[in-house]
Amino acid sequence: MAQLSDDCFAFGGPLLAVEQALALIAERVPPLPGAEPVALRDAAGRVLAEDLRAPIPLPPFFNAAVDGYAFRHADLSPAGETRLAIAGRVQAGAAASGITPGTAIRIFTGAPMPDGADTVMMQEDAKEEAGAVILPPGLKRGANCRPSGEDVALGEVALEEGRRLGPAEIGLTAALGLASVGVRPRVRVGVFSTGDELAEPGAALGVARTYDSNRFTLMALLRGLPAAVTDLGILPDDPNATARALREAAAAHDLLLTSGGVSTGEADHVKAAIEAGGKLVFWRLAVKPGRPAAMGVVRPAGGGEGFGTPVIGLPGNPVAAVVTFLHLARPMVLRLAGAGEETLPRFAATADFAYRKKAGRREYLRVSLAFGDDLPVARKYPREGAGLLTSLTESDAFAELPEAVTQVAPGDRVRVLPFRAVF
Ligand code: AMP
Ligand code: MG
């Protein structure tokens, strides 16, 4: 379990900048201890627990990169054509013998280079006639072949501890011949929603109820992370029930996520519940949408004093919950999972809209992207509400307006965070 000290998130300022929140997480949250072996076919999304050193070079042997003719470069005449007798043939998977000076070997992609041969002429560039091959001049020594170890040298660290294993990393690990890898434990994340107004999808809606969407969004977001997720349901707007539920869940989880109930309304009990069961830091993040977020640690029921399980109370409005998930919960999960720092993807786009904002906070506008020959064009979603779920389904990215910016004019360059690439 992540056992964080009570005051690990202590922060005195009034509004916390996103970068400060990220720095606090990076500095104060230790990765979960432990490692376990996992079969490579189950390793996607997990975090490497140790440096992965290459037990073999990659490629394992000197081989042809194309279909063609292997020969000694010294036999190629620098000016005119060269005619070499074809002395043999080697296919992928077959062993090659040596090459006799003044001859060529018919070779295919992935086949081992004959001893002594150092260059391959592509079949498209050569002419074969009467058991010989005619090679034009001008090819460089070593062309069209792949030396052993050119990709990864024997013993080299191919992937560092803390790397998340995506398709590329899994492929590299397989190419190195490893059937299993040592990975960090998954972060056990418990997800609650809070609010008397929330109904469970599938159940009757009832009067003055709205279906819980955040819990499903958050659980889906967590699927892309090295997390083991528990659905902990909906908490009523009741301070004691909330405090009890958090303390009970703290025992079996490394992180608790809630949404809703973190503002300063009378029915907002998450902060008090964290306070009752551990230590609260109320983070007023300098971000819109998403300003209120509660952070803290909760001591497990029956656990010792002073340490506990981290809790992040995300805001209730669905768009605010997503924005704060990306900036607080995602880095927290990655950090607990021992993953190296992974910033969110961002690129430049041209705004096609005008917008004014306050200085001192970062704003995320929902935009759709049109790709052409030039920079992508960011079109703002026409409505602003942080509760509009379709503003996310109908958009591709957040335009990220930095703290210092106060206005955007059409044609301005803006930074966009393509949330679909993260979701
Ligand atoms: P709160 O911060 O609890 O006042 O919530 C702010 C808004 O978000 C209210 O309109 C809530 O009904 C809504 N909300 C809170 N939690 C959820 C949820 N899990 N799913 C959908 N909407 C929610
Ligand atoms: Mg509420």
**Per-residue model confidence as pLDDT tens digits over 170-207:** 999 999 999 999 999 999 999 999 999 999 999 999 99
Residue 88, pLDDT above cutoff 70: yes
Between the CA of 186 and the centroid of ligand 1 the distance, in Å, is 28
Cβ–ligand 1 contact at 303 (below 6 Å): no
Q: Looking at the CA of 234, name the nearest ligand.
A: 1
Task: Answer whether 313 contacts ligand 1 (Cβ < 6 A).
Answer: no
Contacts of 48 (CB under 8 A, 6+ apart): 159, 160, 161, 162, 163, 164, 165, 169, 181, 182, 183, 184
What's the Rg (C-alpha) of the chain? 29
Distance CA 277, CA 243 (A): 6
User: Is the pLDDT confidence value at 9 over 80?
Assistant: no
- 242: which residues sit within 8 A by CB, 6+ positions away? 194, 235, 236, 261, 269, 270, 272, 273
What's the half-sphere exposure (Cβ side, CA atoms, 13 Å) at 133? 26
Residue 232: CB within 6 Å of ligand 1? no
d(CA 317, ligand 1 centre) in Å:
5
Average pLDDT over residues 280-304: 85
Judge contact between 15 and 283, C-beta under 8 A: no
Separation CA 121–CA 165 (nearest Å): 37
Give pTM, 2 decimals.
0.92
**How far apart (Å, rounded) are the C-alpha atoms in residues 364 and 398?**
5
Alpha carbon distances (Å) from 299 to 27, 258, 308, 335: 21, 16, 4, 20
Task: For residue 213, name the pLDDT band (cuts at 50, 70, 90).
Answer: very high
Task: Give the model's confidence band at 4: pLDDT under 50 very low, under 70 low, under 90 confident, else very high.
Answer: confident
If one looks up domain 39-56+160-183 in CATH, what number appears? 3.90.105.10
Q: Are strands 82-90 and 103-107 parallel, antiparallel or unpaired?
A: parallel
Q: Which superfamily, per CATH, for 63-146?
A: Molybdopterin biosynthesis moea protein, domain 3. (2.170.190.11)
What is the average pLDDT across 6-12?
Answer: 66
Question: Picking from 58-72, 210-224, 305-319, 380-394, which range would have the lowest pLDDT averaged per residue?
Answer: 305-319
Which atom number of ligand 1 is nearest to the Cα of residue 265? 4
Residue 315 beta carbon below 6 angstroms from any ligand 1 atom: yes
Peptide bond into 289 cis (omega under 30): yes
Q: Which ligand is nearest to the CA of 260?
A: 1
Phi, psi of 255 (to 5 degrees): -160, 140
* pLDDT (average), residues 355-381: 96
The Cα 154–Cα 176 span in angstroms is 10
pLDDT for 307: 75
Tell which atom from ligand 1 comes closest to the C-alpha of 212.
Answer: 20
> H/E/C letters for each residue in the chain?
CCCEECCCCCCCCCCECHHHHHHHHHHHCCCCCCCEEEEHHHCCCCEECCCEECCCCECCCCEECCCEEEECHHHCCCCCCEEEEEEEEECCCCCCCECCCCEEEEECCCCECCECCCEEEEHHHCEEECCEEEECCCCCCCCCEECCCCCECCCCEEECCCCECCHHHHHHHHHCCCCEEEECCCEEEEEEEECCCEECCCCCCCCCCEECCHHHHHHHHHHCCCEEEEEEEEECCCHHHHHHHHHHHHCCCCEEEEECCCCCCCCCCHHHHHHHHEEEEEEEECEECCCEEEEEEECCCCCCCCEEEEEEEECCCHHHHHHHHHHHHHHHHHHHCCCCCCCCCCEEEEECCCEECCCCCEEEEEEEEECCCCCCEEEECCCCCCCCCHHHHCCCEEEEECCCCCEECCCCEEEEECHHHHC
pLDDT for 13 beyond 80: no
> 267: pLDDT confidence band, cut at 50, 70 and 90?
confident
Section 370-376 average pLDDT: 94
pLDDT at 227 over 60: yes
User: Is residue 423 very low, low, confident or very high in pLDDT (cuts 50, 70, 90)?
Assistant: confident
pLDDT tens-digit readout, 102-150:
999 999 999 999 999 999 999 999 999 999 999 999 999 999 999 999 9
Average pLDDT, the chain: 94
Place 2 in a pLDDT band, splitting at 50, 70 and 90. low
pLDDT of 79 reads 93
The number of the ligand nearest the C-alpha atom of 258 reads 1
Pick the residue whose CA is nearest to atom 16 on ligand 1: 316
Q: Is the CB of 316 under 6 A from ligand 1?
A: yes
pLDDT at position 1, please?
53
Domains of the chain, residue spans:
4-34+185-336, 39-56+160-183, 63-146, 347-421
Query: Does 193 contact ligand 1 (Cβ within 6 A)?
Result: yes
Assign domain 4-34+185-336 to its CATH superfamily: MoaB/Mog-like domain (3.40.980.10)
Return the pLDDT at 274.
93
Asked if residue 200 has its Cβ within 6 Å of ligand 1, the reply is no
Q: How far is the CA of 273 from the centre of ligand 1 (A)?
A: 17
Q: Which atom of ligand 1 is nearest to the CA of 213?
A: 20
pLDDT surpassing 60 at residue 399: yes
Is the C-beta atom of 197 inside 6 A of ligand 1?
yes
Regarding the beta carbon of 212 and ligand 1, being less than 6 Å apart is answered yes
Cβ pair 140, 118 in contact under 8 A:
no
Distance 110 CA to ligand 1 centre (A): 58
Distance 234 CA to ligand 1 centre (A): 11
**Structure confidence at residue 10 (pLDDT):** 66
pLDDT at 159 over 80: yes
How buried is residue 404: exposed, middle or buried, by Cβ count under 10 Å (0-12/13-18/19+)?
exposed
Lowest mean pLDDT among 13-17, 36-40, 262-266, 365-369: 13-17
- Ligand 1 lined by 237 (C-beta under 6 Å): no
Rounded mean pLDDT, 47-75: 98
Ligand 1 pocket check for 259: Cβ under 6 Å: yes
What percentage of residues in the chain have a pLDDT greater than 90? 84
Residue nearest (by alpha carbon) to ligand 1 atom 14: 316
Among 317, 323, 388, 389, residue to substitute to test ligand 1 (most atoms within 8 Å of Cβ): 317
Report d(CA 294, CA 277) in Å as an integer. 14
Fold entry, domain 347-421:
Beta-clip (2.40.340)
Q: How much distance in Å is there from the Cα of 258 to the middle of ligand 2? A: 11
**Using N-to-C axis directions, what is the helix angle for 239-250 and 270-277, rounded to 10°?**
50
Q: How confident is the model at residue 259 (pLDDT cuts 50, 70, 90)?
A: very high
**Residue 185 C-alpha from the chain's centroid:** 17
Residue 304 has pLDDT above 80, yes or no: no
Question: Which atom of ligand 1 approaches the CA of 262 most closely?
Answer: 2
264 pLDDT tier (thresholds 50, 70, 90): confident
- Atom index in ligand 1 nearest the CA of residue 259 equals 16
> What is the arithmetic mean of pLDDT over 398-408?
97
Centre of ligand 1 to C-alpha 387, Å, is 8
pLDDT of residue 291: 84
- Name residue, tokens 């704003």: 363
194 residue type, one letter: T
